[in-house]
């Protein structure tokens, strides 16, 4: 059984490590950007789909963000306690309520989005838009392959 990495495999490991580091940095910076408006990166991440698409169930938010339903439920509970979200009846499901933003939630999300735009635009200065788009496509492709390989990530079933 060959357990050596191909040249691309070695590069993917490096990309995975850098992606993990970037994720940590983004979460930290996100927390700093929105702390004073009562948000954290996790809360902001859950508010996003609801703000952008309208009321959604906890399961729908979880699927869109690639998170567990339980994790989203905990964050939604926090957001509700802060008065940023509320539940609405779901015409498609009697038990699975829809999460909706309150007026306070809309204001918080709008403030967070404005701060993010300023920060991202500043960070993007001097970057090649085509290279950024290609990087995003590559990450989507890797993400899709991870999902298709199953929970164990082993395409060979070994």
Residue 139, domain CATH: 1.10.10.10
Is residue 153 situated within a structural domain? no
Q: pLDDT below 70 — which residues of the chain?
A: 1-2, 150-158
Give residue 80's domain range.
7-145
Q: For residue range 18-31, what is the model confidence (pLDDT) as tens digits?
A: 999 999 999 999 99
Q: What is the pTM of this model?
A: 0.82
Burial call 9-45: b when 16+ CB within 10 Å, e when fewer: eeeeeeeeeeeeeeeeeeeeebeebbeebbbebbbbb
Is residue 152 situated within a structural domain? no
Is residue 47 situated within a structural domain? yes
Q: How many domains does the chain have?
A: 1
Is residue 1 situated within a structural domain? no
Q: pLDDT at position 41, please?
A: 94
Is residue 107 situated within a structural domain? yes
Q: pLDDT at position 94, please?
A: 80
Q: Which ranges of the chain would DSSP assign to H, the alpha helix?
A: 7-34, 41-53, 58-65, 69-81, 103-124, 129-148
Is residue 46 situated within a structural domain? yes
């Amino acid at each position: 059984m060959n357990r050596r990495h191909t040249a691309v495999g070695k590069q993917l490991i490096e990309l995975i490590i850098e992606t993990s580091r970037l994720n940590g940095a983004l979460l930290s910076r996100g927390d700093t950007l929105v702390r004073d408006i009562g948000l954290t990166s996790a809360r902001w991440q859950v508010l996003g789909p609801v703000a952008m698409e309208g009321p959604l169930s906890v399961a729908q938010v979880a699927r869109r963000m690639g998170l567990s339903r339980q994790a989203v439920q905990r964050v939604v509970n926090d957001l509700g306690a802060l008065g940023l979200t509320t539940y609405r009846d779901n015409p498609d499901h009697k038990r699975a309520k829809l999460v909706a933003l309150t007026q306070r939630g809309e204001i918080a999300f709008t403030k967070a989005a404005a701060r993010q735009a300023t920060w991202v635009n500043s960070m993007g200065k001097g970057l090649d838009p085509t290279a950024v788009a290609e990087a995003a496509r590559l990450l989507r492709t890797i993400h899709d392959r991870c999902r298709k390989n199953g929970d164990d990530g082993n395409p060979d079933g070994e």
